[in-house]
Structure 1
Amino acid sequence: MSFPLHGADVAHIGTMLIFALVYLGMFLGGLPRTGLDRSGVAVLGAIAMIAVNGWSIGEAAATIDLPTIVLLFAFMLLSAQMRLGGFYGAVTRAVALRARHAPTLMAALLAVVAALSAVFSNDVVCLAVTPVVVRVAWRRGWDPVPWLVAVACAANIGSAATLIGNPQNMLIGSVLGLPFGAYTAAALPPVALALLALWGWMMLVLRRLPPPSGAGAARVDDDAGPPFNVWQSGKGLAVAVALLAIFVATDWPHEVVALVAAGVLLLSRRLHSAQFMGLVDWPLLLLFMGLFVVNGAFERTGVAAQAVAWLAQHGVHLREPTVLAVVGVALSNLVSNVPAVMLLLPHLSSPDQGVTLALASTYAGNLLLVGSIANLIVADLAARDGVRLDWRRHAAIGVPATVLSLLIWWAWRWVQAAWA
């Protein structure tokens, strides 16, 4: 006996298959035997969803959270301003010149990288700082790998301190409507403690390394990156400070304010707009938009809501912070943190859940080399200088750092509950 499928059934089955293929691509970093990376998979998945569900372009566009896209784009332009002004490299070199001993340099480097990542995006900071850190390590006869992993970990941890430090936090803040100041006040203490724990862990790591040698000094060339420009860097800093003040003191739409600020930066007599646009991470923006469409179609099937209800019936509630953190860490390392956050956000509602998901998904990036784009940027740039950072060396530092960060978050919540 055959059971004819109706159009709605075909669309439902097609949506499920497309969703599964897209998230398989997120897990694998692309689709085997194709030239598709994660962004390509997301875009192709969105196109397939539009076709299978018979949507108009307007219906597909309605699934995209435009404020998140605009905010992300605006801060990419702000970060481009700082990079073109040579600010990141100049700050890193200044820290290296003033901190002569390894413990002091490690503390200063972690603090600076984390602070910059909280405002200017962890990926861009890693992109600018990595070549400088490699050369600093070579000049002192140190193995660059531990320092590079420390930079990536600090960038990920520091970016969790604000709603503009990384893409997933921007998404969480936009969808849940979290106040900028309230989020930072809640996230900053566990982030600061996690950075302190990272420094302590790195001190143990460095003690186990062989004594410094001069072997790498001969490989040092001129520091990479644009030369430091006081005016351009000062202009970017002034805009960043103004943005932070507006975010904290007003309820003006963040995406509109950030877009106006980006427009101000584009009005430059010395920096061509093509230079700014060339530093925008267009594939990441396409990844976001594609996943919005894919997830929007999947949500309409009701399967996700049924899965969450089934888990709740068996005592697993996403509203419980520990459960949400565990699920967030697991999903972030399966499909990357941005897709993981997109999957979980529709089932969250409170600011506390938003803070938990932001911290857990960001900390999760330190667990494995493929856990965050910042890690991959560091590894790729290090390879160009002949420094091999593989998953084993990353995991030896990153796994304990992640565990420490999560334990500190859990302990901080316990202390807050005890004081309440």
Structure 2
Amino acid sequence: MTTVAVLVFVVSYVLIATERVPKVKAALTGAAVVVMLGIVGSEDVFYSHDAGIDWDVIFLLLGMMIIVGVLRQTGVFEYAAIWATKRAGGSGLRVIVLLVVITAVASAFLDNVTTVLLIAPVTLLVCERLALTPVPFLMAEVFASNIGGAATLVGDPPNIIIASRAGLSFNDFLMHMAPLVVIVLVAFVLVLPILFRGAFAVDPDRVADVMSLNEREAIRDPRLLTKCGLVLALVFIAFIGHSVIHIAPSIVALLGAGLLILISGVDREDYLGSVEWETLLFFIGLFVLVGALVRTGAIGDLARLAADVTGGHALAATMLILIVSAGLSGIIDNIPYVATMSPVVADLTAAITDPVQTHALWWALAAGADFGGNLTAVGASANVVMLGIAAREGHPISFWEFTRKGAIVTILTIAIAAPYLWLRYFAFR
């Protein structure tokens, strides 16, 4: 069954990557095949935490999409677009740097998918105002969201899994991962002009028009904006404090969406119009496909094989975990990968007596899984969401267009993470 599960996954992945058929059709067909063959059953698909659909991700997306749909009616995205453009002086390069930094910082404290959902509408409006192609901006932001999400325990779902397994706190992530993220973010900003060469030229007339606008006039419904601001504040506070209040972010998002629908009076067509139904269905199919690999032990076997190669050597194990995690997380969703790899890392740390080097293995897993999400268009949830938004707005991004840029970003970030781990935990302890 393992061979069959791998074969179905590879065929589905090739169809998604080549875009010979719509990605939703490829993912759902592959999911249907593994279910019909009995590789996974209804218990696995609907109820298994490790091998099933991650309903937390699905309902987090649904709740935040509804909130964004209501927020869109206020004109706040137009306000933010004009504000950002004016602060950047109309320079395309300064605009992208500003949006990238905002995205990375926000992703450290919110789920990176939530950040993408909030920043994408602003980006599309900025690019429309300046007559710029939004594709480079959207890709840069999703790369930044995956980088920024690595900084804290709540920034990316794999970090929560690692923290639970390794007994790490919010402050541990802040002290060990945040410095690495700052270095990586600076390097990423520096390569933006090269990575997206030729994408920042703006029409001076367009710039003059935007600079003459009063952003406050863009707000169409101040009362609704106040209601949205209150609900979003409550949602964000609950996101940050979910480990204290013990309410999952997905439940918080759904409660926030329900409350906003109740108090806003917005028509159903308005708030449901922002829901990316195809994106949600694609996630469901992808989760089932990856679940089949988890269920048959394919991912676990790969992870254990990588661990056995190191022979218990701490530095070798750290580097191998970093590289393997980046590669595999770019191909499959990093959440089931980290869930499967965590016990393997725990076994490796048991054989290492130095506590500093023990932690290095966990930070390698976090950095590899989080940064590796930039490798391909399906490497992280935020990537899939951003591509869905771009396609709906008439700016489709192909799998390979994303992956060509994503591979460069992944290589850059892992190339920085490797010496960081070596210097901090082995060379200068």
When normalised by structure 2's length, the TM-score is 0.70
Where in structure 2 are the equivalents of 1:394-405 lying within 5 Å?
A: 394=402, 397-405=405-413
Tell me the residue number matched to 1:230: 226
- Separation in 2 of the partners of 1:263 and 1:385? 28
1:294 aligns with 2:288: no
Tell me the residue number matched to 2:368: 360
1:96 aligns with 2:85: yes
Tell me the residue number matched to 2:67: 81
Where in structure 2 are the equivalents of 1:367-378 lying within 5 Å?
A: 367-369=375-377, 371-372=379-380, 374-375=382-383, 377-378=385-386
Q: 1:187 to 1:273 in 2, by over 3 A?
A: farther
Question: Is 1:369–1:375's contact at 8 Å kept on the other side of the alignment?
Answer: yes
Displacement of 1:119 after TM fit? 4.1
Tell me the residue number matched to 1:5: none
C-alpha deviations, 1:12-45, integer Å up to 9, x for none? xx35413431354245438977986464256425
Question: Is 2:110–2:240's contact at 8 Å kept on the other side of the alignment?
Answer: no
C-alpha deviations, 1:312-342, integer Å up to 9, x for none? 5544779722111211222233345456445
Tell me the residue number matched to 2:149: 159
Q: 1:36 to 1:111 in 2, by over 3 A?
A: closer
The amino acid across from 2:32 in the alignment is L
- Separation in 1 of the partners of 2:254 and 2:313? 37
Question: Is 1:126–1:151's contact at 8 Å kept on the other side of the alignment?
Answer: yes
Q: Is the deviation greater in 404-413 or in 312-321?
A: 312-321
Q: 1:242 to 1:123 in 2, by over 3 A?
A: closer
- Separation in 2 of the partners of 1:400 and 1:15? 32
Which of 174, 180, 188 lines up with 1:190 in the alignment?
180
Question: Is 2:53–2:288's contact at 8 Å kept on the other side of the alignment?
Answer: no
Q: 1:404 to 1:384 in 2, by over 3 A?
A: same
- Separation in 2 of the partners of 1:38 and 1:294? 15
Q: 1:35 to 1:243 in 2, by over 3 A?
A: closer
1:113 aligns with 2:111: no
Q: 1:132 to 1:60 in 2, by over 3 A?
A: closer
Question: Is 1:42–1:291's contact at 8 Å kept on the other side of the alignment?
Answer: yes
Tell me the residue number matched to 2:415: 407
When normalised by structure 1's length, the TM-score is 0.71
RMSD: 4.7
Question: Is 2:132–2:199's contact at 8 Å kept on the other side of the alignment?
Answer: no
1:149 aligns with 2:149: no
- Separation in 1 of the partners of 2:167 and 2:143? 27
C-alpha deviations, 1:328-363, integer Å up to 9, x for none? 222233345456445534533366545433332332
Q: 1:264 to 1:394 in 2, by over 3 A?
A: closer
Q: 1:360 to 1:312 in 2, by over 3 A?
A: closer
Tell me the residue number matched to 2:57: 72
Tell me the residue number matched to 2:324: 327
1:266 aligns with 2:262: no
Question: Is 1:72–1:167's contact at 8 Å kept on the other side of the alignment?
Answer: no
C-alpha deviations, 1:139-198, integer Å up to 9, x for none? 345554433332222122223334444455555556666544433443222222222111
Tell me the residue number matched to 1:9: none
Where in structure 2 are the equivalents of 1:293-312 lying within 5 Å?
A: 293-299=291-297, 310-312=305-307
State the secondary structure of the residue aligned to 1:326: helix
Tell me the residue number matched to 2:35: 47
Where in structure 2 are the equivalents of 1:199-278 lying within 5 Å?
A: 199-204=189-194, 212-213=202-203, 229-247=225-243, 250=244, 253=246, 255=248, 259=251, 262-263=254-255, 265-267=257-259, 268-270=262-264, 275=271, 278=275
Q: 1:304 to 1:209 in 2, by over 3 A?
A: closer
C-alpha deviations, 1:52-94, integer Å up to 9, x for none? 68x7x55776632599946435633256425532466654443
Question: Is 1:26–1:336's contact at 8 Å kept on the other side of the alignment?
Answer: no
State the secondary structure of the residue aligned to 2:177: helix
Q: 1:206 to 1:254 in 2, by over 3 A?
A: same
The amino acid across from 2:28 in the alignment is G
Question: Is 2:390–2:396's contact at 8 Å kept on the other side of the alignment?
Answer: yes
Displacement of 1:298 after TM fit? 0.9
Displacement of 1:259 after TM fit? 2.6
Q: 1:376 to 1:287 in 2, by over 3 A?
A: closer
Question: Is 1:85–1:232's contact at 8 Å kept on the other side of the alignment?
Answer: yes
The amino acid across from 1:263 in the alignment is L
- Separation in 2 of the partners of 1:410 and 1:308? 19
Tell me the residue number matched to 1:63: 48
Displacement of 1:110 after TM fit? 1.2
Q: How many percent identity over aligned positions?
A: 19
State the secondary structure of the residue aligned to 1:269: helix
Question: Is 1:27–1:336's contact at 8 Å kept on the other side of the alignment?
Answer: no
Question: Is 2:180–2:420's contact at 8 Å kept on the other side of the alignment?
Answer: yes
Q: 1:176 to 1:414 in 2, by over 3 A?
A: closer
- Separation in 2 of the partners of 1:334 and 1:287? 15
- Separation in 2 of the partners of 1:78 and 1:39? 23
Question: Is 2:23–2:282's contact at 8 Å kept on the other side of the alignment?
Answer: no
The amino acid across from 2:235 in the alignment is V
Displacement of 1:129 after TM fit? 3.3
Tell me the residue number matched to 2:12: 25
Q: 1:141 to 1:288 in 2, by over 3 A?
A: closer
Q: 1:254 to 1:27 in 2, by over 3 A?
A: farther
